[in-house]
Amino acid sequence: MIDAAKTLLIDLLLGNDAVQHLSPDFVAASSQWLRNWLQRDSDAITRAILDSAGNEPLKKLMVEEKFPVLLQNPTFSQELLQLFAQYAQQKERQKNVVDNSNIDVKGNAVIGDNGPATDDGYDQKNKVSGSTLQAGGDVRVGDQNLQAGGNIHFGDVHYHGAPPPASSQGGAASSTTARQLRDLVAAGRTGDAINQLRSHTEQNDTHLRDEVSQLSARWENLKRRERIGVINYSEATLERNQLNNALLELIGGLG
């Protein structure tokens, strides 16, 4: 676990491909947490290296040298365990993902699910990255989940009579927006969810506008405290969870 944790910290600091598929909020918060620890009691040159673009070999060496010393700090060790647990949860939000592999099959190759369509909330699904895929037959990447008791139409539907009542349209739109916002929260994209909710309430649900503005201010304040290192990882995680719960309650009030 120690070696895996050190590798994760290097990937976070350098922004390597291994963390590109994770939640942007998780990556940003974890990277800032690591920088705050690396910069403690450091000289100006160390801080300049961390703040500058590039310098990947020096940054990697810095993590490798400081990591054993930081592990002796009980607070760092506890926060590292929490970070690694969250990282494990992030990795579980993948399905049918092929990374850095060589695949050679004689027949057809299928990457995806068969069955009814579901809103499974995965961050990544049905993806081939950095891999070689060879097949002697057909290749399909994606779910095959079209099911219907009647006809399936692709194309425009034109109404020649009166449109549906405005209240029904508004309710359907709010329901769709709420589902999209919940997906963002589930994916760890709290900032994106707040921004989209603000845009929605400005135009459609003005009764929630003030509450959303207050929540947005709390979110920005949390990110600022994380950047300047005045809040530890445990406290930030707790506050982020509280913000997510409050956000989900507001989403439930749409429409």
pLDDT at 188: 81
The Cα–Cα gap between 182 and 185 comes to 5
**Average pLDDT over every residue of 173-194:** 84
pLDDT at 202: 82
**Average pLDDT over every residue of 166-191:** 74
Looking at residue 232, its amino acid is N
pLDDT at 219: 92
- Rounded to two decimals, what is the model's pTM? 0.51
User: Which residues, 6+ apart, have CB-to-CB distance to 250 below 8 Å?
Assistant: 197, 208, 211, 212, 215
| Contact (CB, 8 A) for 114 and 145 | yes
The Cα–Cα gap between 86 and 80 comes to 10
pLDDT at 153: 46
Q: Phi and psi at residue 137, in whole multiples of 5°?
A: -125, -145
The Cα–Cα gap between 140 and 135 comes to 10
Looking at residue 76, its amino acid is F
The Cα–Cα gap between 127 and 131 comes to 10
The Cα–Cα gap between 232 and 9 comes to 17
**Average pLDDT over every residue of 216-232:** 87
**DSSP SS3 for 157:** coil
| Contact (CB, 8 A) for 38 and 23 | no
